[in-house]
C-alpha cells in the first residue's frame, strides 16, 4: 500500500509541476499514463486480484489529490477561484475509483500465466485507442506528438512482452488491431459525455 501512495503522489506532483510543458502536458492529461501507473503499482505489489484493485484505486486517488492540490494552490496564489478545481477533482477522483481497480487487476494479471495475454491485449488496445479517439479533436503538434508516442508504446508492448514467443506476440497484435477501433469509438463517446472533447464524433 505504501508503494501505491508513494507512486501516486510522485505521479500527481509530476503532472502538476509539468503542466504547461510542451508534449508532457498532453501526456499528463491523457488517461493512458494514469492507467499505466495504476497497473504498474499492482504489477509490482499485488499478490491477488483484490489487493490489485485496492492498490490501483489508491494510486489514482492519491495522484488526483496531489495533482489537483498543486493546481488549486497555484490558482489560490494567483488570486483565482478554486471551485472549478474542486469540481474537476471530484469528477476525476470518482473516475479514478472506477478505472483504478480495473487497471490494477490488469497489472496483477500480467503476473499470472492464465490471464497475462488478456492483460497485455487490454493495456495495448487502450494505449492505441485513446490517441485515435482524441486525434481529430486536437489540432496542435505537441498533442499529436504525445498521442503518437503513446500509440507507439502500446503497439510495441505486446511485441516486447512476448519477445520470446512470436506466436503469442503475433496473436496479441492481431487482437489489438481488431479491438482498437471499437474501443476508440467508446472512448470518444465517453470523453464527449464528460465534456473533455467536443462533438460531433468524427471516427464514425
What pLDDT shows up at residue 82? 57
Count of CB atoms situated within 10 Å of the CB of 64: 26
What pLDDT shows up at residue 42? 96
The C-alpha atoms of residue 154 and residue 71 are separated, in whole angstroms, by 29
The C-alpha atoms of residue 78 and residue 113 are separated, in whole angstroms, by 52
8 A C-beta contact, residue 110 and residue 43: yes
Residues in contact with 91: Cβ distance below 8 Å, sequence separation at least 6, in sequence order: 194
What pLDDT shows up at residue 61? 93
Give the residues of the chain that fall short of pLDDT 50: 204
Q: Dig out the grid coordinates for 31 from the structure.
A: 488517461
What pLDDT shows up at residue 103? 96
Tens digits of residue pLDDT in 63-86:
988 888 776 655 555 555 555 567
8 A C-beta contact, residue 136 and residue 202: yes
What pLDDT shows up at residue 200? 59
What pLDDT shows up at residue 50? 94
What pLDDT shows up at residue 91? 76
What pLDDT shows up at residue 69? 76
What pLDDT shows up at residue 185? 92
What pLDDT shows up at residue 170? 95
DSSP classification of residue 111:
T
Q: How far is CA 86 from the centre of its chain?
A: 21
Give the pTM. Answer: 0.87
What pLDDT shows up at residue 31? 92
Amino acid at each position: 500500500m505504501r508503494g501505491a501512495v508513494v507512486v501516486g503522489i510522485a505521479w500527481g506532483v509530476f503532472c502538476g509541476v509539468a503542466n504547461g510543458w510542451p508534449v508532457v502536458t498532453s501526456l499528463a492529461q491523457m488517461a493512458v499514463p494514469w492507467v499505466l501507473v495504476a497497473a504498474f503499482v499492482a504489477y509490482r505489489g499485488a499478490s491477488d486480484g483484490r489487493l490489485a484493485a485496492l492498490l490501483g484505486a489508491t494510486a489514482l486517488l492519491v495522484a488526483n489529490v496531489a495533482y489537483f492540490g498543486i493546481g488549486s494552490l497555484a490558482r489560490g496564489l494567483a488570486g483565482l477561484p478554486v471551485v472549478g478545481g474542486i469540481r474537476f477533482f471530484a469528477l476525476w477522483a470518482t473516475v479514478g475509483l472506477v478505472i483504478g481497480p480495473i487497471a490494477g487487476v490488469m497489472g496483477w494479471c500480467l503476473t499470472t500465466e492464465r490471464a497475462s495475454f488478456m492483460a497485455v491485449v487490454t493495456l495495448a488496445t487502450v494505449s492505441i485507442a485513446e490517441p485515435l479517439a482524441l486525434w481529430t479533436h486536437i489540432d496542435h503538434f505537441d498533442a499529436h506528438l504525445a498521442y503518437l508516442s503513446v500509440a507507439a508504446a502500446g503497439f510495441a508492448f505486446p511485441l516486447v512482452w512476448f519477445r520470446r514467443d512470436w506466436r503469442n506476440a503475433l496473436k496479441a497484435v492481431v487482437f489489438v488491431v481488431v479491438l482498437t477501433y471499437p474501443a476508440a469509438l467508446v472512448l470518444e463517446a465517453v470523453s464527449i459525455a464528460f465534456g473533455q472533447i467536443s462533438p460531433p464524433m468524427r471516427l464514425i
